[in-house]
Chains A and B, each alone.
Chain A
Amino acid sequence: MKLQYIAVIFIIIIMPISIVMASSIHSRITTISLQNDYNSKLTEATYDSIKAFQINTVNNHYSSISDSKIRDIEAAASSFFNALGTSMGLSSEDLQNHVPALVFNLYDGYYIYTKYDNSYPKSNGKPVLDSKSAQTNYGLKPYIYYSCRYKVGSNIYVVNYTLDNAITVFYTSGGASHTKSGYLINPGSVTSSVTTGDIRNWSVTYNGVKISPEVLTEHLLFADGTEGNYEYLVYNGQKIYRNSYESYFWYQNYGKTNIQKANSIYNYLRARDYDGHLHSTSAVEYYANAKTFSAEIETLLGGITQANAIDAQENKIEDFSVNTGENKIFDFNNSTNDPLLDSSIFNQNRISVIRKSIETNLKAAIANYSSYSSNGYTYQIPVLGDADWEKISNNISVTSFLQGIPIGYKFYNNYCVISNDNNEENISKDKIYIIATNNSKQREYHVPGCEYLLNSANDYTIEPEPAAAAYPNINFAAAYSNISFMRQTVRISEGNYKYFYPQSRGKSPSQTITSCYYCIVNAANVYPIDQIISGKVARIDRNITSTEIGRLSDIRKSYFHALARERYDLYLTNMNEFN
């Protein structure tokens, strides 16, 4: 055979192989590009959803009330479907066939937004859940708490965890049911506590820092265009402002609603209005109550370890994500178990319980969703990574799942977790900002671990009020939660909005407040918050000098006041109802 023929035969063989291979690779490339594209759309839609939740809660003064919260979550879910639908060119109804679940993690529990069967047909007079019924709804399933059951002897304790150091315990003793709710701290860290008698003398000492009543100030803008700085305190989850001595108001509908003397709150306010200022006692009460509560919990649950955890059928739970072995979860005298620190045994258990609870319920929800679907695709929960669980168990977050969309040679199956710390649901440890005045008399806010604020060689004064120096006996608050530094909107009329910053004192350069360029704009030169809490600051690359952390004690003082106050002032349904 001539060489030319061999070449022709070779080409006849090679060409189709080459064409098929190119086409196959091309289709795989298209699939993966589509997958990346969907990943990015899913992330954006989930972000829109949590952003909607954030905006609604920050501007909704009743956001902590359950009905109002459900409304905010439903709005967040529809933002998700709108955002995803717009970017993918699908309607919300179409998308509901591909979104087996949305999980909204809140402070003490979570909602799962999925398909559920709400019909209970009767069989022999008894209601029976018909899992194959076509009458499914797509919406929020009942709220689930981050709870775990522990069995000691014949006693069963149900502990509801939260995103921070607060817990609620349900148990029966002597035939009666009991509930205890509060914040956990190391009881030994509170050394002296005075919370009776004249409020002037109230104080506690926490980790060597004296906590006393403090004066809180906020800038308000009203619908009529007037504005001003007002002292305030929080009572029952609502801020109450001081107009003048014995005159107080609520900020409602961008105006003042005066509090009458006959109102039961009046005496509470009057007792805290002395020396020309309104004093908040939240921080003092937080530590005093937490000490009492933690001591009670130690007595009640001190011996509990992970081995005591049981499920609803009273079987031992042995597959927690973190195994803390024989370590006692609620024994806070152990130096490694300060509930405020991430590394504590309590915190590791808290994260394990949250993870276990969500995994179990989500698996069930997605499996049910699969049985309600008719498109033949088997919906399954993907494996969530450790980094995702860390986000879920420490912050308010939305987890979205998108599955079963055909993309070339396979089906799309992915999830996205977006957390958020700018909301009024949860005060995380990182959310406290310290106010300081720099050498140009400009007010700035910093994170507690700011390297430049800590260094006493830099010219800063931790002093929020220009007039503070004239009142050495008044404890003006120098730190607030990050919500106080976010822009607030006042709606005058449709299309006419005004804006203000609660921690800005006015319009002049010495009154406005800006974020620190070293720790907030740049967000880099920061020591971890656990180092500030424990008072042991260290750098990875070298030892630090005492000047470099010269302001540590002042910062810790402001930080401990603010963290306690902001947490105590959160409206927590459980705590306010049970205590």
Chain B
Amino acid sequence: MGDSLITVIAIFLAAILMFVFPLMSLAERTDDISELAIQTATDEFVNNIRTTGKITLDMYEQYLQTIGTTGNTFEPEIVVYQLDENPGAKVTQAEMTKIGENVYYRKYTSQVQDELTKTGRMRLKEGDMVSVSVKNTNQTIAQILRNFFYQITGNNSAELEASQTAIITVNGSN
């Protein structure tokens, strides 16, 4: 009886050791690589925007395609901060010693997407900022396996995350 119980436990442990742990380890490495791929794609996308001064539909679709090749589904969030120097210009006239305060207006993902689908491009100017962050919306194999043992709850449960922010360096051409 005692031996049989130990054998059952041993088989169970062996199964975990032989299949689940290697699988988990492999799945986590795959996620690392996927995360690296989306981080690189996000960096490239943002760098491209900052040096060309515009977001085009073509650039955006290519970005979505690149992150999509990891086999996961994603929800990119784009925030564009548009610099308004007008308050500064007015202040400088009234008070010469003050350099002025600049204001940023924000445009969010849906507004950016609207503009891209409408005109095919979004022009930005020098001094604007763009911030792109992306998270996976599906469950990766590593997440499924991990949830089998322990559950992670809350908003920050995404496995694959990447973000990049940059200041635009040039006025976008037409």
Known: A421-B170, A523-B123. A32 touches B40 (CB 8 A): yes
Does A387 lie within 8 Å of B118, measured CB to CB?
A: no
- Residues in A neighbouring B67, C-beta threshold 8 A: none
Contact B93 A507 (CB under 8 A): yes
A residues less than 8 Å from B93 (CB atoms) = 501, 504, 506-507, 512
Contacts of A517 in B (CB 8 A): 84, 86
Asked if B144 is an interface residue, CB under 8 A from chain A, the answer is: no
Q: With the chains together, A499 CA to B11 CA distance in Å?
A: 80
B20 within 8 A of A: no
Chain A contacts with B in 416-455, Cβ cutoff 8 A: 416-422, 430, 449
- Asked whether, in the complex, the Cβ of B126 is within 8 Å of the Cβ of A521, the reply is no
- Name which residue of chain B comes closest to A529, CB basis: B174
Q: Is the CB of B86 within 8 A of A21?
A: no
A368 within 8 A of B: no
A499 touches B96 (CB 8 A): yes
Complex CA distance for A7 and B123, rounded to whole angstroms: 61
Interface residues of B in 1-43 (CB under 8 A from A): 7, 10-11, 13-14, 17-18, 22, 25, 29, 32-33, 36, 39-40, 43
Q: Using Cβ atoms and an 8 Å threshold, which residues of chain A touch B174?
A: 430, 449, 526-530
Q: Which of B29, B40, B126, B172 contacts A21 (CB 8 A)?
A: B29
Distance (whole angstroms) from the CB of B123 to the closest CB of chain A: 5
Partner among A3, A29, A521, A526 whose Cβ is within 8 Å of the Cβ of B14 = A3
Which listed residue (A32, A417, A487, A504) contacts B51, Cβ 8 A? A417
- Cα A540 to Cα B126 in complex, Å, equals 26
CA separation between A63 and B4, bound complex, in Å? 91
User: Contacts A32-B40, A36-B40 known; A520 to B89 CB distance under 8 Å?
Assistant: no
Given contacts A10-B17, A487-B92, contact A499 B99 (CB under 8 A): yes
Which among B13, B40, B115, B125 is the interface contact of A520 at CB below 8 angstroms? B125
**Given A7-B14, A29-B36 in contact, is the A507-B94 Cβ separation under 8 Å?**
yes
Q: Are A515 and B85 in contact (CB under 8 A)?
A: yes
B68 at the interface (CB under 8 A from A): no
User: Does A18 lie within 8 Å of B22, measured CB to CB?
Assistant: yes
Q: In the complex, what's the smallest C-beta–C-beta distance from A33 to chain B, in angstroms?
A: 8
Question: Does A413 touch B at the CB level, under 8 Å?
Answer: no
Q: How far is the CB of B164 from chain A (nearest CB, A)?
A: 8
Say whether B122 faces chain A, with CB atoms less than 8 Å apart. yes
Q: Which residues of A175-211 have CB atoms within 8 Å of chain B's CB atoms?
A: none
- Given known contacts A4-B10, A25-B29, A420 and B89 CB-to-CB distance under 8 angstroms: no
Are B89 and A512 in contact, CB atoms less than 8 angstroms apart?
yes
Kindly state the separation between the CA atoms of A524 and B123 in the bound complex, as whole angstroms: 5
A64 at the binding interface (Cβ < 8 Å): no
B residues within 8 A CB of A395? 170
Q: Are B173 and A394 in contact (CB under 8 A)?
A: yes
A416 B51 Cβ-Cβ under 8 A? yes
Asked whether B163 is an interface residue with its Cβ less than 8 Å from the other chain, the reply is: no
A247 proximal to B (CB < 8 A) = no
Question: Are B10 and A3 in touch, CB under 8 angstroms?
Answer: yes
Min CB gap B170→A, angstroms: 5
B10-A14 in contact (CB<8A)? no
The stretch from A39-47, A285-293, A371-379 touching chain B is: A39-47
- In A464-512, the 8 Å CB interface with B consists of 487, 498-501, 504, 506-507, 509, 512
Within 8 Å by CB of A43, from B105, B122, B169, lies: B169
Chain A residues closer than 8 Å to B51, beta-carbon distance: 43, 391, 416-418
Q: Quote the shortest CB–CB distance from A3 to chain B (angstroms).
A: 6
Beyond A50-B169, A430-B174, A541-B118, 6 additional contacts (C-beta under 8 Å) are: A3-B7, A36-B40, A43-B166, A504-B89, A526-B123, A528-B174
Q: List 14 A-B contacts (CB under 8 A).
A: A25-B29, A36-B43, A39-B47, A391-B51, A449-B174, A487-B92, A501-B92, A512-B90, A515-B85, A522-B105, A524-B122, A524-B123, A527-B174, A541-B119
Residues in chain A within 8 A of chain B (CB atoms): 3-4, 6-7, 10-11, 14, 18, 21-22, 25-26, 28-29, 32-33, 36, 39-40, 43, 47, 50, 387, 391, 394-395, 416-422, 430, 449, 487, 498-501, 504, 506-507, 509, 512-515, 517, 520-524, 526-530, 540-541
Residues of B participating in the A interface, judged by any CB pair closer than 8 Å: 7, 10-11, 13-14, 17-18, 22, 25, 29, 32-33, 36, 39-40, 43, 47-48, 50-52, 82-86, 89-90, 92-94, 96-97, 99, 105, 115, 118-120, 122-126, 128, 166, 169-174
Q: Can you list the 8 inter-chain pairs with the closest CB atoms, starting with the nearest? A: A528-B174, A514-B86, A7-B14, A47-B169, A523-B123, A36-B43, A523-B125, A507-B93
